[in-house]
């Protein structure tokens, strides 16, 4: 093989453009229209949108609190989130609780007509807890005991921590269960962040987890490939905690991440059991951080055990990456998204006029219901003292408070016009915690060992596969395929799923056999659930489904391919050599020796499995999607220029310009801007960061 630049040619069998389209259409099979995954208990229902803020009264006097609440009411805020990060505010000493001031604040909120999410402040743990129960502290891999110098330096696997957190959650949720201001309960702000601990107690708990998972030493040795480099384990007590940041081995690192994920998920389930006992009529709306690189946790496969809504801190930096993150937190839920923290300013960043408003409406496109500004008052001290909120450091309301008041007024109008959007996507993108961990090992030694797939990180592939769907204004779900009903979807995209466990592979197999269309891209299904390469032709468990073998891979420089009428130049030079068995060739590389296939399609059962020989990239994926839309019954949303996104909602169209430049959008005939009050004919002009809802 070589990297000569040349034109990608159609197969030698004479598969011309028309035949290509016919092959795609002939192999199409429909899926059931997506259905909702269940509305949570306590969901306020359609026709309600919420704008509010995160509020930490620990910083405020009673007079300031009265003024703050008056401004919130004046601004049209409907909900605040309080309690997070404040364990010792409620429990200043072990077993001594102080609720009087918070009682008064809850009463004041109710009098102002503002609902409250009471966030159980399970992290960080207070200093008195660290002093009295040293097992709550962290120990480094080198055996150094750490002081809790920053937030989230707590060990959630410690039994004393778990017991005292349960006590706090029980007292708080009972205290406010019947309070008329209570809207929801949240758990442990940004749980998933924090640090791993390497104490002897942690090692023993890890061994207990391994014993439950593998049962025998022999099974553990096989799963960890201990025959390599004289690592065989003779008895359980020889197990040591792997280093999170390397060096490997990969199998042990993956299990370490899974163990800490299970600790986090167990904490959330325990807290939700308390919520269901004390406040069964109130939903769980928590500010989760499953994607934190420090630890993270497997939210996608477990959220049903502790989440009523997909909720998160939304600090967007691009429509594609941030939109993907929001949909990842929504997962398979029918309920809308809550942005429990929402961009206002930032550390050392005062803000940009119109930016929060634009992102709030972008959220509505995706199916959001609520935005809560982080934060209300700018902090005077602590780690976030230069984080600029809605009030300046001298308590003067900034222009940002007025902007959030504008958002609140617009949301009040839109909630009568079909918002929040109840989405039923027919397209799903595969995602998994295990795959993220397998493709992001720590340490230089691993980086050198797995260099090929690190050249195109998994999230890059995921974002590249998502981008053209977002630009075509098509709703998408981001899901763990082993834990969702795939029959809801017509198209399943599997972008660079390097680790594909048996349950996920079986789910993809059943989806295709039942009539679905699956697209898989390079570097998929290379390792099993133990993070070991398959001893079979690749893709490991799905070779027959895709009808090919993919064992060879190379870097080919600039690659050209022609799919349908589009000639596509690859931005990523990596490619796999596809050796079809039952698969048909849809396109070939013309600049590579032997012109190997770049895209194939295989009939399997009632459906079809399409394999793309390169990592997902927007140009190629977009061209492929466009050829599939008609056969899948998919209709792109309103046509928009780059950087503008839109959705049709009950006969109207919401447009959002995410760029810093004015954009002109072609529209059909005369329309009226519901938000702007302007009249448009043939062309909608959106100012930088501009939004409008158009109606006839």
606-637 in b/e burial notation, b at 16+ Cβ within 10 A? ebbbbbbbbbbbbbbbbbbbbbbbebbebeeb
Report whether 690 contacts 657 (CB < 8 A): yes
Residue identified by tokens 């795939």 is 486
CATH number of 644-695: 2.60.40.1180
The tokens describing 52, both together, are 């509010």
Is the peptide bond prior to 656 cis by the omega test (within 30 degrees of 0)? no
Lowest-confidence segment of 80-84, 102-106, 563-567, 692-696 by average pLDDT = 563-567
Q: Which among 467, 451, 448 is positioned nearest to 459, based on CA atoms?
A: 467
CA separation for the pair 246, 255 (Å, rounded):
13
Which residues, in sequence order, are CB contacts of 86 under 8 Å at separation 6+? 56, 58, 121
- Amino acid 41: pLDDT: 53
CA separation for the pair 154, 129 (Å, rounded):
10
Q: Which residue has the higher pLDDT, 22 or 649?
A: 649
Is the pLDDT at 38 greater than 80, yes or no?
A: no
Report whether 633 contacts 617 (CB < 8 A): no
DSSP character for 583? P
- Amino acid 246: pLDDT: 77
Is the pLDDT at 12 greater than 70, yes or no?
A: no
- Amino acid 276: pLDDT: 98
Q: Which among 532, 555, 592, 545 is positioned nearest to 453, based on CA atoms?
A: 555
- Please state the rounded mean pLDDT for residues 692-696: 97
Q: Which among 72, 660, 651, 665 is positioned nearest to 358, based on CA atoms?
A: 660
Q: Give the chain's mean pLDDT.
A: 91
Model pLDDT for residues 138-158, shown as the tens digit of each residue: 999 999 999 999 999 999 999
CA distances to 57, 136, 147 from 546, in Å: 57, 49, 53
Is the pLDDT at 239 greater than 90, yes or no?
A: yes
120-155 in b/e burial notation, b at 16+ Cβ within 10 A? bbbbbbbeebbeebebbbbbeeeeeeeebeebbbbb
Compute the C-alpha angle 265/270/89, nearest 5°.
100
Reading phi first (left if > 0) and then psi (alpha if -120 to 50, else beta), residue 426 is in alpha
- Amino acid 386: pLDDT: 87
- Amino acid 247: pLDDT: 76
- Please state the rounded mean pLDDT for residues 245-249: 80
- Amino acid 440: pLDDT: 82
- Amino acid 20: pLDDT: 38
Lowest-confidence segment of 13-27, 307-321, 323-337, 634-648 by average pLDDT = 13-27
The domains of the chain are located at 17-31+426-632, 50-195+253-414, 644-695
- Amino acid 40: pLDDT: 55
Q: Please, which residues bridge with residue 230 across strands?
A: none
CA distances to 198, 239, 611 from 221, in Å: 22, 11, 34
CA separation for the pair 649, 419 (Å, rounded):
8
Model pLDDT for residues 263-308, shown as the tens digit of each residue: 999 999 999 999 999 999 999 999 999 999 899 999 999 999 999 9
Model pLDDT for residues 503-560, shown as the tens digit of each residue: 999 999 999 999 999 999 999 999 999 999 999 999 999 999 999 999 999 988 889 9
Is the pLDDT at 32 greater than 60, yes or no?
A: no
Model pLDDT for residues 187-236, shown as the tens digit of each residue: 999 999 999 999 999 999 999 999 999 999 999 999 999 999 999 999 99
Domain 50-195+253-414: which topology?
TIM Barrel (3.20.20)
Domain 17-31+426-632: which topology?
Rossmann fold (3.40.50)
Longest dimension (CA), the chain: 81
CA distances to 572, 653, 677 from 696, in Å: 44, 10, 12
- Please state the rounded mean pLDDT for residues 470-497: 98
Model pLDDT for residues 381-421, shown as the tens digit of each residue: 988 888 899 999 999 999 999 999 999 999 999 999 999 99
Report whether 585 contacts 562 (CB < 8 A): no
230-249 in b/e burial notation, b at 16+ Cβ within 10 A? eeebeeeeebebbbbebebb
**Of all helices (H) and strands (E), which one includes residue 552?**
strand 548-555
CA distances to 110, 249, 414, 505, 515 from 500, in Å: 49, 19, 42, 6, 21
């Amino acid at each position: 093989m070589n990297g000569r630049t040349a034109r990608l040619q159609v197969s030698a069998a004479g598969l011309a453009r028309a035949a290509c389209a016919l092959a795609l259409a002939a192999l199409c099979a429909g899926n059931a229209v997506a259905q909702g995954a269940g509305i949570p208990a306590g969901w306020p229902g359609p026709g309600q949108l919420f704008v509010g803020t995160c509020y930490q009264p620990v910083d405020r006097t009673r007079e300031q609190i009265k003024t703050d609440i008056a401004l919130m009411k004046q601004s049209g805020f409907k909900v605040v989130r309080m309690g997070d990060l404040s364990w010792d505010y409620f429990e200043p000493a072990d077993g001594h609780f102080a609720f009087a001031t918070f009682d008064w604040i809850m009463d004041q909120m109710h009098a102002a007509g503002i609902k409250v999410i009471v966030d159980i402040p399970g992290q960080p743990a207070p200093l008195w807890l660290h002093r009295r129960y040293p097992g709550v502290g962290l120990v480094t891999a080198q055996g150094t005991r750490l002081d809790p110098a920053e937030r989230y330096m707590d060990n959630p696997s410690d039994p004393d921590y778990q017991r005292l957190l349960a006590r706090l959650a029980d007292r708080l949720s009972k205290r406010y269960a019947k309070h008329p201001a209570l809207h929801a309960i949240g758990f442990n702000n940004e749980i998933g962040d924090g640090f791993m601990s390497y104490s002897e107690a942690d090692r023993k708990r890890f061994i207990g987890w391994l014993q439950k998972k593998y049962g025998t030493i022999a099974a553990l040795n096989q799963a960890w490939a201990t025959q390599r480099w004289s690592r065989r384990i003779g008895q359980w007590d020889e197990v040591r905690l792997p280093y999170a940041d390397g060096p490997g081995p990969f199998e042990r690192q993956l299990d370490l991440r899974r163990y800490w994920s299970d600790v986090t998920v167990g904490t959330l389930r325990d807290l939700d059991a308390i919520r269901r006992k004390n406040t069964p009529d109130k939903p769980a709306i928590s500010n989760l951080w499953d994607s934190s690189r420090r630890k993270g946790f497997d939210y996608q496969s477990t959220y049903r055990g502790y989440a009523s809504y997909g909720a998160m801190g939304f600090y967007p930096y691009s429509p594609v990456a941030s939109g993907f993150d929001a949909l990842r937190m929504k997962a398979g839920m029918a309920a809308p998204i809550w942005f429990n923290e929402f961009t206002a300013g930032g550390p050392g960043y005062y803000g940009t006029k119109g930016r929060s408003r634009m992102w709030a409406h972008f959220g509505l496109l995706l199916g959001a219901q609520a935005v809560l500004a982080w934060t209300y008052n700018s902090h005077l001290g602590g780690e976030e003292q230069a984080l600029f909120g809605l009030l300046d450091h001298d308590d003067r309301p900034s222009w940002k408070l007025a902007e959030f008041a504008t958002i609140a007024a617009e949301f009040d109008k839109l909630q009568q016009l079909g918002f929040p959007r109840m989405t039923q996507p027919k397209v799903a993108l595969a995602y998994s915690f295990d795959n993220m961990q397998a493709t992001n090992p720590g340490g230089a030694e691993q980086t050198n060992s797995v260099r090929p797939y690190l050249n195109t990180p998994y999230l890059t592939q995921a974002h590249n596969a998502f981008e053209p769907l977002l630009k075509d204004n098509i709703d998408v779900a981001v899901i763990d395929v082993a834990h969702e009903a795939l029959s809801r979807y017509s198209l399943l995209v599997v972008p660079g799923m390097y680790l594909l466990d048996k349950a996920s592979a079986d789910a993809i197999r059943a989806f295709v056999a039942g009539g679905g269309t699956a697209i898989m891209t390079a570097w998929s299904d290379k390792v099993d659930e133990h993070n070991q390469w398959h001893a079979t032709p690749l893709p490991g468990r799905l070779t027959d489904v895709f009808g090919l073998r993919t064992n060879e891979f190379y870097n080919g420089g600039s690659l050209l391919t022609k799919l349908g009428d589009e000639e596509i130049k690859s931005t990523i030079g990596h490619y796999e050599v596809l050796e079809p068995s039952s698969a048909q060739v849809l396109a070939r590389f013309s600049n590579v020796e032997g012109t190997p296939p770049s895209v194939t399609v295989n009939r399997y059962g009632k459906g079809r499995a399409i394999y793309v020989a390169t990592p997902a990239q927007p140009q190629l994926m977009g061209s492929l999607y466009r050829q599939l839309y008609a056969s899948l019954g998919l209709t792109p949303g309103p046509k928009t220029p780059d950087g503008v996104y839109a959705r049709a909602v009950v006969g109207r169209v919401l447009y959002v310009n995410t760029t810093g430049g004015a954009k002109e959008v072609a529209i059909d005939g005369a329309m009226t801007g519901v938000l702007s009050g302007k009249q448009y004919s043939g062309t909608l002009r959106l100012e930088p960061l501009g939004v409008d809802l158009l109606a006839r």
